[in-house]
Amino acid sequence: MRSIQYYFNLAAKVATPTNELDYLKTYWFGTVGIRSDSTIVCAKNIPVALEPTLGNRMVGNKLIPNHKQKIAHSEYRTLRKLNKWATAMFVVRISKEAYARGNIEYKMARPCENCSSAIVAKEIGRVYYTISDSQYGLFIPGNDSDSTFEF
């Protein structure tokens, strides 16, 4: 396995917008996963309004997206490509404001409760996530613990 920073950089590239739909999103997330056979998989989050199956509701003729629905989340989308007992996941959120200024800046990317449950169920080894440019977190699903580290 390469360095943590290497995979965070990779996940930040995945989070980077590549089409106009990405600009509809409130958050820019990218996740990289390492299968137990060392295959690398990845996904970014998609606009929740594009996933009409779960949780969104109509009020009059206006679609109210449910941002808590995990199916649109990069972690969950990556998890679907990972085998049980996969080695690790790296979750990055980049700042839209900083990106507009030409910089990549890390923001809090701790997986939500729904994604965390799915991660625990699949018994993923380790989940690294960005907190800020100076800190990252490590979630160990096996014992449901979180630790914070400095870059």
Taking CB under 5 A as the criterion, the residue among 70, 77, 93, 107 binding Zn ion is: 70
Taking CB under 5 A as the rule, does residue 112 contact Zn ion? yes
Residue 150 dihedral angles phi and psi, to the nearest 5°:
-90, 145
Residues 72-91 that bind Zn ion (CB under 5 A): 73
Which is closer to Zn ion, CB of 12 or CB of 118? 118
For residue 141, the tally of other CB atoms under 10 A from its CB is 20
**8-state DSSP, 83:** P
Helices and strands in the chain: count of H runs, count of E runs:
4, 9
Binding part of the chain for Zn ion, among 36-44, 57-65, 70-78, 138-146 by CB under 5 A, reads 70-78
Which is closer to Zn ion, CB of 110 or CB of 126? 110
**8-state DSSP, 95:** -
Binding site for Zn ion (CB under 5 A): 70, 73, 112, 115
